[in-house]
Amino acid sequence: MNWLGAGAAFLARRRLERMRALAAAPRAPQVELFAKLRERFAATAFGRAHDLASVRTHTDWCRAVPLMDYAAMAPWWRRARAGERDVTWPGLIRHWALSSGTTSGEKFLPVSDATIANNRRGGFDSLVPHLAQAGGALFGGKLLFLGGSTALRREGDVWIGDNTGIMAREVPRLLNGLYAPSAAVRAMTAWQQKMERAAAETATADLRMLAGVPSWIVLFGEAALAAAQRAGRDVATLGELWPNLQLFVHGGVSFEPYRRRVDALIGRTIRCTDTYSASEGGMLAVQDRDDDPGMLPLLDRATFFEFVPREDLGAASPRRLLAHEVEPGVDYAVALTTDSGIAAYLVGDLVRFTSREPLRLCFAGRTAHTLSAFGEHVSSGELDRAIAAAADATGAVVDEFTVAVRYPDHRDAMGQHRWLVEFRREPADPAQFAAVLDRTITDGNEDYATHRSYGLREPAVVPLPRGTFLGWMQQHGKFGGQHKVPRVASPAMAAELDADARGALSES
């Protein structure tokens, strides 16, 4: 093991102990962080408008600063993006992450120099559980991070681009020689060409880690295998292509729907570490145990957490709980306050805590992707778990899926959920696949069970041709980077996918 690996492993063991200790006693680090952030906010135009100098407690904060969304913060951030200083955070915000929001269209999110520094530390935190257990051999080869373009555009005094691209420009110097793909490939904006170039570059490298959104990492891995096979190498899996591959750090979506594809693609067991991150807050939580899918929240970096019970969203006075006040088994919307001038900001995610000592959470879906056409309140996390269970029960392999709604009409007085699924391997028993979907959600969701008893038919499964979702993503400018297939289809999306399915049937 080289000196870098040995040092990283030593630091990782100490950091893992601290992460677990903080998660076991979350109140103190969050109260301390709150005080520091409030003081910095108070020195801004936003802070003066909300009289944050007089805020001392979280109760004061809740009275002074309502829960915010992008529409509420955008007027402040437009001023800061135009070059004004001390708007929502002291100084000039030089970097802005461009995000195509689920509910707000195109969004420009502030990324301060302090946030960039903290995100470097959060990136290390995502490696900590593996380094603490396996040592630092990871740093003996290449580490692949598949993210957005590092090419930023300048507007006046600020730079705008993909959040992962901004972070990729700030790689610590010690890791420059280990980082893959090359700087030239990281700067590419055409995602298909970028994946092909990255695959060609790394097919002959000693790759030891993969990091990225599961759906895109799978496509990258398939491209790397194809490149190696074209070059005459006798390899059938990524484990054969990269014998020292030992870690896959993933996030952005639930991993369960992709687990079978990843396992088959790699061909042997490696550590898969789940992470929870957001453009608005960087790395927020990291899975620390192989035998527990729960993730430790990072409570001492630069993000102050508030958790709003899902049923309180939209209420006049929603409950805003701190980390030490949450309960396991409840879905909470996440609100973040950060050192980029983001205040009490609802990021649109739902999380569910799996334990309290220490605190561990899992991603439970997106608030905008809740399926509730009939009051059934099914989260995207429940949809992910259901399709993973159905695939396991029937031997199916799912590439992608979304769920649409059929409303009652004169032909059928009952509604229905329609699962539009792209299979890599179809289920041995399609009827059983649909039944497991239904049963999995019914067992965990009382609202869904109630509606199934009188107003909602059993779900329908509609197979789609291979490549349908990739084609849809390309057509709508959502190909690559941090884009994901929506788990709940809009009427327009469902109509387009249905047309693809009918076209495939007519050609067969």
Per-residue pLDDT tens digits for 164-195: 888 888 777 777 789 899 989 998 888 888 88
Residue 326: its pLDDT value, please?
97
Asked if pLDDT for residue 497 goes beyond 50, the answer is: yes
Cα separation, 74 vs 342, in Å, equals: 11
**Sorting pLDDT into bands at 50, 70 and 90, what band is 103?**
very low
Enumerate residues 6+ apart whose C-beta is below 8 A from 328.
Answer: 352, 353, 354, 355, 356
Cα separation, 169 vs 187, in Å, equals: 9
Report the relative pairing of strands 416-425 and 303-309 from DSSP bridges: unpaired
Asked if pLDDT for residue 285 goes beyond 70, the answer is: yes
Q: Average pLDDT of 320-331? A: 96
| Helices within 65-213 (DSSP H only) | 70-81, 113-134, 163-168, 183-186, 191-202
